[in-house]
Amino acid sequence: MKFYLIDKPLDLTSFDVIRVLRKKLNTSKMWHTWTLDPLATGGLLIAVWKYTKLIPYFEKDTKEYEFSVKFDGVSESFDLWTDVEFISEESKQKASKEITREKIQKLLDENFTWTISQVPPKYSALKLWGKKALERIKAWEEFDMKSREVTIKNIELLDFKYPEASFRATVTAWTYIRSIAFDLWELLWTWGYVTKLRRTQIWALDISLWQTLDDFDETKSLDVKELFKNKSFITLEDSVLEKINNWLRVTWDFDLKIWEDLFVFDWNDVTNIVEYDWKMLKAKRKI
């Protein structure tokens, strides 16, 4: 039971990464967290075997992205996934004079800090009524995406030379970078599309912990206690653990945090998720 942090390459889906790892690890039981689009690269966290049961216990915490946007055209997917329709040379000349580094920075400061309302892109894996939005696009279905609140903890302009700008953003879960880009170029009164998108950090898991599919090393798994450093890890006596494994409640005066998910650890793996309510210890999930 392990976790791996993979540097997803360009043009592979998140599930393509799963397919490759299933062959390398000779197991079919694995899944990823927080999908990356085919044209996005960077950190993809993979849970293997029984640790897939721990995925719901991850905090919906922050992620960092670096991305580039060009302001000389537009596409239906807001990126290079679909054909780009370029603006005229006259419009480019006008935009090159009106769009400045200072103007972009001002718009970021005024419109993209903290909690904002965002409409997710239709070309996405977001599910609507049990079906991915992208699948509905392919089926020629008519539908609207509802706006929702997301949090941008930090966004900065790294570089700009018309028609391209590069950015770094730290955002909460469920934030779409392509939607941030769309909102920005609308405020600039021009067209735009994302040319590069890379997830550079998941919580405190930075690029130093990642590995590529080509150089994948099974021994380089992540420390489960580091992944869940905000959780409490406990050990239980065999007699107590036996009862927990049989879904029996254990009455005892334990020195444990109450009403929290407690990770039972046997010095090698997480075996159970339990909860304590002052009087009884009860099982929540067997791993």
Band the pLDDT of 54: cuts 50, 70, 90.
very high
Distance CA 264, CA 273 (A): 6
Active site residue 266: no
Q: What is the pLDDT of residues 70-91, one digit of tens each?
A: 999 999 999 999 999 999 999 9
Distance CA 15, CA 269 (A): 26
Interacting residues of 124 by C-beta distance below 8 A, sequence separation 6+:
37, 132, 133, 134, 176, 178
pLDDT score of 136 more than 90: no
Select which of 37, 83, 183, 255 is catalytic. Answer: 37
Gyration radius (Cα) of the chain, Å: 23
What is the dihedral sign for C-alpha 117, 123, 126, 128? positive
Question: What is the pLDDT, as a whole number, of residue 180?
Answer: 93
Band the pLDDT of 93: cuts 50, 70, 90.
very high
What is the DSSP secondary structure assignment for residue 82, as one 8-state letter? S
Distance CA 168, CA 247 (A): 47
Given its phi and psi angles, is residue 227 left (phi above 0), alpha (psi -120 to 50 degrees) or beta? alpha
Band the pLDDT of 121: cuts 50, 70, 90.
confident
The CATH number that domain 2-59+208-227 falls under is 3.30.2350.10
Residue 102 φ/ψ, nearest 5 degrees: -65, -40
Is residue 71 within 8 Å of residue 190, measured between CB atoms? yes
Lowest mean pLDDT among 34-38, 209-213, 281-285: 34-38
Tell the residue number behind the tokens 């879960």, with chain if given: 173
The CATH number that domain 63-202 falls under is 3.30.2350.10
Q: Tell me the average pLDDT across 11-38.
A: 93
Band the pLDDT of 58: cuts 50, 70, 90.
confident
CA distances from residue 175 to 126, 137, 180, 197, 221 in whole angstroms, order as listed: 11, 20, 8, 13, 27
CA distances from residue 37 to 12, 196, 273 in whole angstroms, order as listed: 8, 11, 32
Locate the domains of the chain by residue range. Answer: 2-59+208-227, 63-202, 232-286
Beta strands in 11-80 (DSSP E): 30-32, 40-48, 63-70, 73-74
Q: Tell me the average pLDDT across 138-143.
A: 78
Q: What is the pLDDT of residues 152-188, one digit of tens each?
A: 999 999 999 999 999 999 999 889 999 999 999 999 9
Question: What is the pLDDT, as a whole number, of residue 145?
Answer: 79
Question: What is the pLDDT, as a whole number, of residue 34?
Answer: 85
Interacting residues of 14 by C-beta distance below 8 A, sequence separation 6+:
8, 32, 35, 36, 44
Question: What is the pLDDT, as a whole number, of residue 245?
Answer: 94
Tell the residue number behind the tokens 């990823």, with chain if given: 32
Band the pLDDT of 127: cuts 50, 70, 90.
confident
What is the DSSP secondary structure assignment for residue 84, as one 8-state letter? -
> Maximum Cα–Cα distance for the chain, whole Å?
78
Question: What is the pLDDT, as a whole number, of residue 79?
Answer: 93
pLDDT score of 134 more than 80: no
Nearest to 270 by CA among 244, 239, 249: 244
Query: In CATH terms, are 2-59+208-227 and 63-202 the same topology?
Result: yes
Q: Tell me the average pLDDT across 111-133.
A: 81
pTM across the whole model: 0.88
